[in-house]
């Protein structure tokens, strides 16, 4: 596009653009010359200056390489206006950037110039260049978004591409930065034959890859975000599961993040992975005192309320994502290390997958390799040479078949839940739903992975059973937490129980007494032990299990009070 930055009528139809400005066009104005001219010089954006007495015929000045505004952008509320810029770098590679208009006005346009120069555009006169961009307009309108993921049904936006745009209202991702495409290596066919094929027969690998495919389906199918946390000893192969999953989308070395970050930092990372997969390595690296809160926040999809410098409320960051995590310990163990509790909501969202109890640690089938270490090396090589090709093909499939996939989910979920959970509506059923969507995504993606029908479903069922076994059965998390809380209090905090035969030796932060092999806990101490839980319900659960019984006892310094009695032997496993 060419035009005059000094004129209000500077929109020129590209199809009728001539390389030289019309003779009747009077300077000053800007013009885009796409061709080299022996007298004028290289192609570029030129500024035609107005003549003066001293210089009645000034030569045009090149201010930058060729760059054009090919559309104007705005959001659904007709706010956040911007311009879609197109240019080629010095190697002839085409580049685009949906630039927020505000980038032209902050610090003299320094932000815009920095981004464009980094993208290979040469600029010789910064002030004139910013004036040129400010003056350019276009009749075409695109809708801009500042968050990746689903824009509307069947329209999925990534930083570099919109999948299956509807109507004629194209959608672009617009932020104060140019976002590079995810790196890729190999082809979709080689990824299928060399990476996905190695997952067959390995339930943890199949589940991890299925998690990558399910990540954009959560919003689509109305399923809450969640985390599959692979727990296993060092060198068990759990990190390979995450690596293989990340290879669906990108180069795992660049895509996988660390738990070692602040909660603020992880909020920003989560928002950038909206409707996608977030991979966080080694949970022990996150602050144990905040681990539970962060692990709840990420799958829950909402950050903290924060204020601006002037005291007004900032917009809360929101997202929906599937999280893959790993570590030698689980969330509860990490929180327990600083005496922090976890709750049922966290267990429903952070689902522990044992990653070291298969025949070969994290693997069941080594595809001809002599041991797990050699198979892990084979996976590493395959992923290194083949990655970043499957996700775009998957997004094409999802957007094209959007309605059909939505309609098929209900029956698939019902069949899956009825095959694995006695009570699909309870806590176990809610977790089973997460395995169901992984199975559904894995089955739907079989044309991409090359897996036989039933492969992903069987892997999801195996991993679901492993989760049940690791948690100790199908009882509710609250019930398990109640038993564990009283056991840990007695074992770990035994010094907080006063010997009833020594009335003068009162321990710090006393919660109860001990006498003749019985722990005697007054009601007030009972409430302290079960802080954060329903103390009355705790009493009912423990009575039903035969662990405690209510009574009235005379206790030193308290007189005759209501209390709960726990015999030492009743807590034996």
> Which tokens is 341 given?
């509790």
Q: What is the pLDDT of residue 10?
A: 41
Residues 330 and 429: their CA atoms lie apart, in Å, by 21
- With CA atoms as reference, report the closest residue to 161 among 149, 153, 152: 149
Three-state helix/strand/coil letters over 68-122: EEEEEEECCCCCCCEEEEEEECCCCCEEEEEEEHHHHCHHHHHHHHHHHHHCCCC
Q: What is the pLDDT of residue 343?
A: 63
Residues 539 and 541: their CA atoms lie apart, in Å, by 6
DSSP state letters, 463-474: HHHHHHHHHTSS
- Three-state DSSP class for residue 271: helix
CB-based burial label for 379 (10 Å; 0-12, 13-18, 19+): buried
- With CA atoms as reference, report the closest residue to 147 among 274, 250, 268: 274
Q: What is the pLDDT of residue 497?
A: 95
Question: Cβ(369)–Cβ(360) under 8 Å?
Answer: no
- Give the up-direction half-sphere exposure of residue 505: CA atoms within 13 A in the CB hemisphere: 10
**Nearby residues of 22 by Cβ (< 8 Å), 6 or more positions away:** none
DSSP-derived letter for residue 7 is S
- With CA atoms as reference, report the closest residue to 493 among 370, 336, 364: 336
Query: How much is the CA Rg of the chain, to the nearest whole Å?
Result: 31
- With CA atoms as reference, report the closest residue to 255 among 264, 267, 243, 265: 243
* Element containing residue 566 per DSSP (H, E): strand 559-567
**Nearby residues of 296 by Cβ (< 8 Å), 6 or more positions away:** 345, 346, 349, 350
- Give the up-direction half-sphere exposure of residue 474: CA atoms within 13 A in the CB hemisphere: 13
CB-based burial label for 66 (10 Å; 0-12, 13-18, 19+): middle
Q: Do the bridges between strand 321-327 and strand 276-281 make them parallel or antiparallel, or are there none, so unpaired?
A: parallel
Residues 429 and 426: their CA atoms lie apart, in Å, by 5
- Three-state DSSP class for residue 237: coil
DSSP-derived letter for residue 185 is B
Residues 41 and 38: their CA atoms lie apart, in Å, by 6
Tokens 């206790």 appear where? 555
Question: Cβ(456)–Cβ(210) under 8 Å?
Answer: yes
Tokens 């991890």 appear where? 208
> Which tokens is 218 given?
């959560």
Residues 84 and 76: their CA atoms lie apart, in Å, by 16
- DSSP bridge pairs for 97: 85
Tokens 């423990």 appear where? 542
pTM (predicted TM-score):
0.82
Q: What is the pLDDT of residue 13?
A: 39
Spans of the chain below 70 pLDDT: 1-18, 165, 167-169, 308-309, 341-345, 424-425, 474, 476-477, 572-573
DSSP-derived letter for residue 194 is I
- With CA atoms as reference, report the closest residue to 148 among 272, 269, 266: 272
Residues 210 and 322: their CA atoms lie apart, in Å, by 11
Neighbours of 19 (CB within 10 A): 14
Tokens 């892997």 appear where? 459
Tell me the C-alpha to C-alpha distance, in Å, between residue 315 and each of 73, 303, 318: 22, 10, 9
Axis-axis angle for helices 110-118, 126-135 (nearest 10):
100
């Amino acid at each position: 596009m060419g035009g005059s930055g000094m004129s209000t009528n500077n929109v020129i139809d590209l199809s009728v653009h001539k390389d030289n400005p019309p003779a009747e066009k009077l300077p000053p104005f800007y013009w885009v010359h796409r061709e080299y001219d022996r007298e004028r010089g290289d192609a570029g954006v030129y500024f035609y200056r107005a003549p003066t007495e001293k210089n009645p015929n000034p030569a045009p000045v090149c201010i930058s390489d060729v760059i054009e505004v090919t559309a104007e952008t705005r959001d659904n509320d007709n706010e956040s206006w911007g311009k879609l810029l197109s240019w080629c770098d010095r190697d002839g590679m085409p580049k685009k950037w949906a630039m927020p208009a505000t980038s032209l006005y902050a610090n003299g346009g320094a932000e815009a110039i920095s981004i464009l120069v980094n993208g290979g555009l040469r600029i010789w006169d910064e002030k004139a260049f910013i004036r040129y961009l400010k003056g350019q307009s276009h009749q075409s309108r695109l809708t801009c978004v500042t968050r990746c993921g689903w824009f509307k049904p069947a329209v999925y936006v990534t930083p570099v591409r919109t999948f299956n745009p509807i109507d004629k209202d194209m959608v672009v991702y617009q932020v104060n930065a140019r976002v590079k495409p995810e790196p890729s290596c190999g082809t979709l066919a080689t990824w299928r034959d060399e990476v996905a094929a190695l997952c067959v027969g390995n339930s943890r690998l199949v589940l991890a890859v299925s998690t990558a495919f399910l990540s954009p389906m959560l919003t689509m199918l109305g399923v809450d975000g969640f985390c599959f946390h692979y727990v296993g000893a060092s060198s068990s192969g759990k990190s390979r599961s995450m690596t293989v999953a990340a290879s669906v989308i990108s180069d795992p070395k660049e895509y996988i993040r660390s738990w070692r970050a602040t909660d603020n930092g992880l909020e920003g990372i989560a928002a950038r992975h909206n409707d996608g997969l977030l991979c966080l390595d080694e949970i022990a690296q996150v602050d144990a005192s905040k681990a539970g809160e962060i692990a709840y926040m990420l799958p829950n999809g909402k950050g903290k309320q924060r204020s601006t410098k002037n005291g007004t409320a900032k917009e809360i960051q929101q997202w929906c994502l599937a999280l893959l995590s790993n570590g030698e310990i689980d969330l509860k163990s990490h929180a327990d290390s600083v005496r922090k509790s976890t709750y049922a909501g966290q267990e429903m969202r952070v689902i522990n997958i044992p990653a070291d109890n298969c025949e070969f640690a994290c693997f069941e089938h080594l595809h001809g390799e002599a041991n797990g270490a050699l198979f892990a090396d084979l996976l590493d090589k395959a992923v290194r040479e083949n990655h970043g090709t499957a996700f775009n093909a998957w997004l094409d499939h999802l957007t094209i078949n959007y309605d059909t996939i939505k309609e098929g989910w209900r029956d698939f979920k019902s069949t899956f839940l009825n095959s694995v959970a006695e009570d699909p509506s309870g806590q176990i059923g809610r977790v089973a739903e997460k395995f169901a969507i992984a199975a559904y995504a894995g089955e739907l993606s079989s044309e991409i992975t090359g897996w036989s029908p039933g492969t992903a479903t069987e892997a999801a069922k195996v991993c679901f059973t492993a989760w049940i076994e690791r948690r100790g059965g199908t009882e509710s998390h609250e019930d398990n937490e109640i038993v564990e809380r009283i056991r840990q209090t007695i074992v770990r905090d035994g010094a907080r129980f006063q010997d009833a035969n020594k009335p003068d030796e009162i321990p710090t932060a006393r919660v109860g007494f001990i006498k003749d092999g019985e722990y005697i806990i007054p009601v007030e101490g009972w409430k302290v032990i079960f802080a954060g839980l329903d103390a009355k319900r705790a009493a009912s659960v423990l009575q039903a299990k035969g662990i405690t019984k209510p009574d009235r006892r005379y206790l030193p310094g308290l007189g005759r009070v209501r209390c709960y009695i726990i015999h030492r032997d009743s807590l034996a496993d």
